[in-house]
């Protein structure tokens, strides 16, 4: 099957809040430096987000590429608050016991913002909510359905926590028929215990992706890897094999950057040429779409790439 490789950048909240000054730092390799995003488009989006009382991952993470994505009609929203019940070493998201349940009005506010902003590709993500009986699956589902109702032409992508590996919750999510369902493996097998919360796991994440494909083969499945955590090239190849074996069709691969206040140091900065080589390896392994580059994040996506995948068919 045909695939496409792209170099680009995006950001999802679950990889940590990368401080914009860090991104711009002269101490970083040249290929990781970026300008502060500005402009009337961003001001308008910020106004809408504040008025709607919602969380947009693009703004909260201060992603240097938010202007590019927003100009394409793409944005990522965070559901269910910004307090995570897990504590992963690569991530700077606040952890603890969330002080509220799922806000029943949040799906309406997000769907209205999608309408007002004229978005064409919407990414919904969340922190992990082990405290909720349904792990937040219902909130995702209601939000997807409202966006579908009010903006039927918009593509909807959801990037989910592991839902404790529960097939019943994954079935709820699949029933909303998102165009893309992503769950991020983050790193290679050996580094999982050091990088992710002890309640997560390499095999569990792979099984989550397998289950989604069993539940609905027409949903495009997606995952993401961060490099520069101490992995070897051989381990990356093994992980690509495992992800493809789990039915994953789309993959984003980017550089780990230590978030402000982060606990985990960068092991190395991977050069753009190596990202390109790994991206080509992933395509050769059978992935249908690969975005591989130093500033790529899991929410990085393009409408044109999605349309190409639809044209190729399954």
Q: Whole-angstrom Cα distance, residue 227 to residue 186? A: 9
- C-alpha distances (whole Å) from 258 to each of 19, 81, 191, 192 are 9, 22, 16, 17
Task: Please tell me whether residue 143 adopts helix, strand or coil conformation.
Answer: helix
Q: What is the CATH number of the domain that holds 66?
A: 3.20.20.70
pLDDT in tens, the chain (314 residues): 434 444 333 333 334 434 444 455 667 899 988 766 667 776 777 778 777 788 887 766 666 667 777 778 888 999 999 888 898 878 878 888 898 899 999 999 999 999 999 999 999 999 999 999 999 999 999 999 999 999 999 999 999 999 999 999 999 999 999 999 999 999 999 999 999 989 999 999 999 999 999 999 999 999 999 999 999 999 999 999 999 999 999 999 999 988 777 789 999 999 999 999 999 999 999 999 999 999 888 877 655 566 666 655 54
The whole domain housing 208 covers 4-312
β-pairing, 55-56 vs 74-79, is antiparallel
The residues, any chain, with a CB within 8 Å of residue 191's CB and separated by 6 or more, are 229, 230, 231
> CA 257 to CA 66: how far, in whole Å?
17
Q: How many domains, the chain?
A: 1
How many CB atoms are closer than 10 A to CB 79?
22
Q: Which of 138, 56, 148, 67 is nearest to 102 (CA)?
A: 138
């Amino acid at each position: 099957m045909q695939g496409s490789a792209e170099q680009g950048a995006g950001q999802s909240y679950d990889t940590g809040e990368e401080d914009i000054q860090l991104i711009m730092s002269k101490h970083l390799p040249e290929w990781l430096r970026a300008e502060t995003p500005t402009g009337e488009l961003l001001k308008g989006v910020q106004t809408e987000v504040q008025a709607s009382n919602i969380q947009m991952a693009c703004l909260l993470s201060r992603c240097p590429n938010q202007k590019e994505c927003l100009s394409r009609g793409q944005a990522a929203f965070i559901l269910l608050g910004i307090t995570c019940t897990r504590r992963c070493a690569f991530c700077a998201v606040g952890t603890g016991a969330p002080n509220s349940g799922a806000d029943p009005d949040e799906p309406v506010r997000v769907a209205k913002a999608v309408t007002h902003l004229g978005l064409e590709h919407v990414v919904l993500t969340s922190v992990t909510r082990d405290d909720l009986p349904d792990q937040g699956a219902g909130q995702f589902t209601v939000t997807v359905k409202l966006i579908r109702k009010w903006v039927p032409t918009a593509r909807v992508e959801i990037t989910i926590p592991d839902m404790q590996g529960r097939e019943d919750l994954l079935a709820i999510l699949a029933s909303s028929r998102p165009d893309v369902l992503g769950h991020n493996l983050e790193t290679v097998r050996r580094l999982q215990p050091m990088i992710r919360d002890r309640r997560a796991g390499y095999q569990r994440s792979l099984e989550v992706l397998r289950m989604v494909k069993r539940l609905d083969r027409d949903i495009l499945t997606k995952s993401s890897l961060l490099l520069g955590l101490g992995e070897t090239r051989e381990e990356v190849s093994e992980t690509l094999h495992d992800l493809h074996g789990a039915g994953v069709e789309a993959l984003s691969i980017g550089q780990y950057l230590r978030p402000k206040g982060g606990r985990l140091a960068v092991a190395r900065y991977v050069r753009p040429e190596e990202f390109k080589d790994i991206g080509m390896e992933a395509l050769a392994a059978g992935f249908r779409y690969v975005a591989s580059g130093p500033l790529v994040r899991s929410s990085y996506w393009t409408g044109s790439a999605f349309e190409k995948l639809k044209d190729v068919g399954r």
